[in-house]
Structure formats: C-alpha cells, structure tokens
Structure 1
Amino acid sequence: METKTRYDIPCNIAQSLNIIGDRWTLLIIHEILSGHTLFNEIKKGLKGISSNLLSERLKYLEQQGIVETELYSEHPPRYCYKLTDSGKDLEDVFNAFIIWGSKHLKKCYKKIVDEETGDEIEIGYYSKRTGERVNKIAVVPVSDPAENE
C-alpha cells in the first residue's frame, strides 16, 4: 500500500480527509452509493483505475468502517460491497458536490432534483433541538473532543 499523506491537525475536515481524501476514494464511494456494488461494476464506472488500486482502496474503506463486504456467491466466493451507516452518511457530502458543480462548473453532468416535481433543490440546515430551518450557521470548537468518542 502506498504511503499516505496524513493530516495531524485537530480539524474535522483534515481528519475526514485522512479517511476519504485519497485519489479515487470518493469516486469509489459514489459508485457504491449509485448502486454499483460488484467489483467489476465499480471498476467499469471508474475508467482508468487499476484493479490493484481499486482493491486496495476498498480494503482500506472496509478497515475504516465505511464499506462492508457481503458474500453473494459461494462457488467461487464472490463479494459485493455495501456502505455502512457511516458510509451512507456521506451521501449529503456528494449531494453538496453535485449542487456546487451545478452552480460553478461549465460542464455539468448531474443535478439534484425533487423526485416528485423535478424542481432543483438546495441544502438546508436544521436545528437538532427544534427542527426549524437555520438561516445563519457558525462553526465552533468542541470543548472536549474526547466527549465524541
């Protein structure tokens, strides 16, 4: 396995990038989110990735609790890849990328729409306590990061 650049910064973004920031990793997760759960399906959707690198990334994602394998054929043994709850929670990150791309890229490949109306949608933030939409957000430090472990 290649030597990874690690961020030793007390920051959610840096620590998340330590897990999902390698080349191809986000695209692999996106393929699984899109329903491509077999190795060859994932590889076909990612033109240019080698089988060895895909295998390496999938193993790493499994070690990190983002992906899990499920046996779907015993003879020969074949596995499919499923996202764990932690992996599924990345869907909002992908949606944010798609919305950003719709707004800022010259050539846009996807957009996020309301399934029933076809209207384009935007991301909103809601209070965990009240459930009401929040208009202004602030990023603040956690007083004791160990409380989250």
Structure 2
Amino acid sequence: MDLPPDAFARECASRVVLDRIGDRWTVLIVVALADGAIRFSQLRSRIEGITPKVLTQTLRALERDGVVTRTVFAEVPPRVEYELTELGRDLLAPIDAIRIWAEQHAARIVANRGRYDVAADRLRARS
C-alpha cells in the first residue's frame, strides 16, 4: 500500500528532495540558471565562494535529479552549458521567493543574532 507523501515521515522520499533543495549551493545555482543556459566558468564567477569541486558535485546531483541539463557542444575546446529543466524552472519560483525573503531580512536576523549572543555571553559570565 502506497502512503501519501509526508515530509515528516522518516521513510518519505520527499526528505531526499528537501535535503537537495535545502543545500545552499542548490539554491544559488538554480537562481543563477534562471535566465537560461550558462557555462561552468560563468556559474563559478556568479556564485562567489563556491569551489569548482563543490560546483561540479552539486551540478551532477541536480542533473541526476532532473533539475538541470548538461549539454556538451562538439567544439574545440568543448563547450559545456547547464540549464534548468522544466522541473528546475518549476522549482525556481519557491526558491527565488526564499532568496528574496533572505535578502530582505538578513540585516534583521544578523542583528537578532548579535543581541542573542551578547545576552548568552552575559549569562555564561554570571555562571
């Protein structure tokens, strides 16, 4: 008997999907591919701080999941481009909404962390 999807259930396949989507590099790669096909070096330049190894690993995982396609052009040197699939484009709206929310609230969250850390330090100092 197949059970309906339930991300709170330990064995639900949606947890694997949430793990992929929750990865910070996945979010940035999907958003970077929003405007269409792009080369590896362009992606690496666009996403500051990502290493070539991590970019390659994440792109392979996204390709495996069917979110990204990889196209190799028979040129010298070979040209490789990455692009969102229909599934990837469908993922773009919720991911972009999270990105926008993060950008709009980052300063507030950083300030909250600072206040929390100061209060926690004071409590530790009293102990």
**If the TM-score is normalised by the length of the shorter chain, which range does it land in?**
0.5 to 0.7
TM-score by length of 1: 0.56
User: Are 1:82 and 2:83 matched, yes or no?
Assistant: yes
| Structure possessing the higher radius of gyration over alpha carbons | 2
Q: Is the partner of 1:90 in helix, strand or coil?
A: helix
Letter paired with 1:79: V
1:67 paired residue number: 68
* Residues 36 and 42, structure 1, Cα contact 8 Å, conserved in 2: no
* Residues 43 and 51, structure 1, Cα contact 8 Å, conserved in 2: yes
Deviation at 1:9, TM superposition (A): 4.8
Tell me, in whole angstroms, the C-alpha distance in 2 between the residues paired with 1:59 and 1:68: 9
* RMSD between superposed Cα atoms in Å: 2.6
Q: Is the partner of 1:82 in helix, strand or coil?
A: strand
Tell me, in whole angstroms, the C-alpha distance in 2 between the residues paired with 1:68 and 1:36: 9
Query: Closer, same or farther in 2 for the Cα pair 1:104/1:11, shift >3 Å?
Result: farther
Tell me, in whole angstroms, the C-alpha distance in 1 between the residues paired with 2:50 and 2:13: 30
* Residues 36 and 83, structure 2, Cα contact 8 Å, conserved in 1: no
Query: Closer, same or farther in 2 for the Cα pair 1:101/1:47, shift >3 Å?
Result: closer
% identity of equivalent residues: 33
Q: Is the partner of 1:89 in helix, strand or coil?
A: helix
Of structures 1 and 2, the one with the larger relative CO (CA 8 A, separation 6+) is 2
* Residues 43 and 54, structure 1, Cα contact 8 Å, conserved in 2: yes
Q: More helix by proportion, 1 or 2?
A: 2
Letter paired with 1:10: C
Deviation at 1:69, TM superposition (A): 1.0
Q: Is the partner of 2:31 in helix, strand or coil?
A: helix
Give the aligned length: 100
Deviation at 1:96, TM superposition (A): 2.0
- Measured against aligned partners, the alpha-carbon deviations of 1:39-89 in whole angstroms (never above 9, x if no partner) come to 111101111111111011101110110000122352122210011110000
Deviation at 1:104, TM superposition (A): 3.4
Tell me, in whole angstroms, the C-alpha distance in 2 between the residues paired with 1:25 and 1:86: 14
Structure 1 gaps of 5+ residues are 1-6, 108-149
Structure 2 gaps of 5+ residues are 1-8, 109-127
